Amino acid sequence: MIRKLRTRHFVIDLRNRLKGILLFISLFYLTVYLPFTFTVYVPLWYQLNCRWHSRCEEIGHERAQTGIHELTSFLRHQGELVSISWTRKEKFHLAQARDIIDRLFLVALSATVMLLLTFDRGFVPRKALVNAAVIICFLAILPIFEPFWKQFFHPLLFNNELWKNTPFDLSYYIMPDQFFKVSMTFVIAMSCLINLTIWFALRNRNNSKSHRDDDR
């Protein structure tokens, strides 16, 4: 009898631990993925960045806007890179990048299902707070962003060097290294904000519920 109880407690504890891990992973991924999509799919983000770096001015407002709208439409599978401004090399690279982004979307769908299956309002605030703490640590990459971006990130994802832009590429003007550094900073900041908002909102709700139960 005692052995059965121990086995049952072990199984329950293991299930709760696994549930907590899956909850943490899914919440972490989704809270990073959501602001990431804004930096990828929304033309406004590229347009704002054009105000923060001078590359867009070098090719003119109209050409930059055309490139931005074609790029974001292409990444959303709503258009093609039809402008003559795109080089053959960067078209191939952007197609590879879109394939990776598409896979990230499929992972996000899986993470959403996982979050719904493991969601526990009592555990979420703690997981969200841990997420925020972990995500803040990625700020340490910013001082070494250039070597990280060129020597680690791209070689990890691509088996070629087509990602290296030249002044002949339209991407060189609308997506310089500064664009990706600012985008990374934005994703980190927004992910932290989302997690802290979840932590604060659900923690207060859980505390309010506990007080109501105590009053009874």
Residue pLDDT, tens place only, 124-136: 999 999 999 999 9
Q: Where are the domains of the chain?
A: 2-215
Query: What pLDDT was estimated at residue 2?
Result: 60
Averaged pLDDT, 173-201 = 96
pLDDT reported for residue 8: 63
* Total-model pTM: 0.88
pLDDT tens digits for range 76-122: 999 999 988 899 999 999 999 999 999 999 999 999 999 999 998 88
Q: Which of 32, 18, 54 is nearest to 131 (CA)?
A: 32
Tens-digit pLDDT profile for residues 3-49: 665 666 666 677 778 888 999 999 999 999 999 999 999 999 999 99
| The pLDDT of residue 215 is above 60 | no
pLDDT(1) > 90: no
User: Which tokens is 45 given?
Assistant: 């983000």
Are 100 and 12 a contacting pair, CB within 8 Å? Answer: no
- HEC profile of the chain: CHHHHHHHHHHHHHHHHHHHHHHHHHHHHHHHHHHHHHHHHCHHHHHHHHHHCCHHHHHCHHHHHHHHHHHHHHHCCCCCCCCCCCCHHHHHHHHHHHHHHHHHHHHHHHHHHHHHHHCCCCCHHHHHHHHHHHHHHHHHHHHHHHHHHHHHHHHHHCCCCCCCCCCCCCHHHHCCHHHHHHHHHHHHHHHHHHHHHHHHHHHHHHHHHHHHHHHC
Residue 211 banded pLDDT, cuts 50, 70, 90: very low
